[in-house]
Amino acid sequence: MRAVEFLERPLDGLAPCYLLKGGDGFMARAVVDKILSTLPPEDREFNYDEFDDDASIVDAVAALETVTLTGGKRVVYLRKRTRQLSDGEKKALSSYCAMPEPDSVLIIEDTPRAYDDLGGYPITIECTAATESEMKRGITVETGKRGCTISRAAIDKLAAYCNLNYGRVAVEVAKLCDYADGGRIEESAVEALVAPDADYRGYLLASAFDEGDIRKALKMLEGMKSKGESAAKILAMLTSSFRKTFHCAISSLDDRELASALGTTESSVRTTRRIIRDRKRSVSGYVVKLKEQTEYLRELEYKFKSGVISEDNALRLAVAKLSAVNKREAK
């Protein structure tokens, strides 16, 4: 089962063991929080235990076998580990999963090969980033649970602003529903109440430079600075956006695979590739120049991180380069 499915469905009882695979910390935490929501608030302090990397598996099993004072469920969460289990730890955990306590719930956040011997016992939940369609469906489901409706344009805007961060979407949906108070959430509300993800803002800024709309780009820069964005952060946004655009131009991966590799949405990859096709027709040697700009931005970032130049000078040089190149090459 995928985490997004688990999060959307009502919980009709708890399984004795869950194995969280996939490595997305936001999704894993959301799953844990949903399981914990079944415990009365006053019980969570006494009936919930987290075990970190250096914790003993034997201690975790002992916690699972401890009867609660209130007679309710006990939840034990084995967080992601960096070290492999010893043979003794594997045996103790496998024995427990084969015959778990009926009043305890074990949640294991997977580390590659650490829990291979547990195959077949726990319910596996794939904690990987939500796809674009899953994210949008999740937004609709969550707003409906809170007694609100949301327009398609608002869904698209919110998904883009949050850059497929499911944890953030849940927070923003709650805020938007409080604002709507049982009404309909429109795109204007998202624009007014939700701050765009850094990747999305970087994409808009890089696009303005790439399109040769230097006035728009400079206006956006001033707006970012007035809101306290540092030169280093703005340069990082630009560098990341140009890097992703360059990969879209040269990669042989399909849209879904490339979106996963770049940590973005399929829609974003498709849109970027369409823009690249258009730019190739209107700009001579577009991909070569895109590569040069990407490498130049990376070089500037390295120089200010190495102390060769200040971050303010690095951003000024980046703006000068992008302004000059894109003004000159656009036909």
**CATH number, residue 156:** 1.10.8.60
Q: Is 127 left (phi over 0), alpha (psi -120 to 50) or beta?
A: beta
Judged against a pLDDT cut of 90, whether residue 27 lies above it is answered with no
CATH number, domain of 101, equals: 3.40.50.300
Tokens matching residue 37: 């929501």
Percentage of residues in the chain having pLDDT higher than 70:
95
- Of 75, 108, 126, the residue at which a domain comes to its end is 126
- The CATH number of residue 267's host domain is 1.20.272.10
Q: Is the pLDDT of residue 258 over 90?
A: no
Q: 3-class secondary structure for the chain?
A: CEHHHHHHCCCCCCCCEEEEECCCHHHHHHHHHHHHCCCCHHHHHHHEEEECCCCCHHHHHHHHCCCCCCCCCEEEEECCCCCCCCHHHHHHHHHHHHCCCCCEEEEEECCCCCCHHHCCCCEEEECCCCCHHHHHHHHHHHHHHCCCEECHHHHHHHHHHHCCCHHHHHHHHHHHHHHHCCCEECHHHHHHHCCCCHHHHHHHHHHHHHCCCHHHHHHHHHHHHHCCCCHHHHHHHHHHHHHHHHHHHHCCCCHHHHHHHHCCCHHHHHHHHHHHHHHHHHCCCHHHHHHHHHHHHHHHHHHHHCCCCCHHHHHHHHHHHHHHHHHHHCC
- The 10s digit of each residue's pLDDT in 178-206 is 999 999 999 999 988 887 777 777 888 88
Same domain, 205 and 322: yes
Q: Which of 162-171, 300-309, 312-321 has the lowest mean pLDDT?
A: 162-171
Kindly state whether residues 203 and 324 are assigned to the same domain. Answer: yes
How confident is the model over 303-321, as a mean pLDDT? 91
Q: Please say if the pLDDT value at position 112 is more than 50.
A: yes
Please tell me the pTM assigned to this model.
Answer: 0.57
pLDDT tens per residue, range 136-154: 888 998 899 899 999 999 9
Q: Taking each helix axis from N to C terminus, what angle separates 286-305 and 266-282, rounded to the nearest 10 degrees?
A: 120
Specify whether 121 is located in the same domain as 238.
no
Query: pLDDT over 90 for what percent of the chain?
Result: 23
Same domain, 159 and 73: no
Cα–Cα distance for residue pair 97/93, rounded to 1 Å: 6
Q: Are residues 101 and 12 in the same domain?
A: yes
- Which residue is it, tokens 């040089």? 317
Pair 80, 170 in one domain:
no
- 62 and 147 belong to one structural domain: no
- Which pLDDT belongs to residue 18? 92
Residues 274 and 309 in one domain: yes
- 13-22, 46-55, 173-182, 301-310: which has the minimum mean pLDDT? 46-55
> Is the model's pLDDT at 131 over the cut of 90?
no
Distance of CA 36 to the CA centre of its chain: 22
The dihedral through the CA atoms of 221, 227, 231, 237 has a sign that is negative
Question: Residue 271 to residues 30, 108, 255, 276, 300: CA-CA distances in angstroms?
Answer: 30, 38, 10, 9, 28
Residue type, 76: V
Q: How many domains does the chain have?
A: 3
Domain shared by 211 and 308, yes or no: yes
Predicted pLDDT of residue 331 = 41
Assigned token pair, 142: 């969550």
Residues in the chain: 331
Owning domain of residue 91: 3-126
Q: How far apart are CA 251 and CA 88, in angstroms?
A: 46
Burial of 284 (0-12, 13-18, 19+ CB in 10 A): exposed
Whole-number pLDDT of residue 105: 92
Average pLDDT over every residue of 148-175? 85
218 has a pLDDT exceeding 50: yes
Burial status of residue 285 (CB atoms within 10 A of its CB: 0-12, 13-18, 19 or more): exposed
Regarding whether 211 and 141 lie in a shared domain, the answer is no
Residues 109, 75 within the same domain: yes
Does one domain contain both 114 and 137? Answer: no
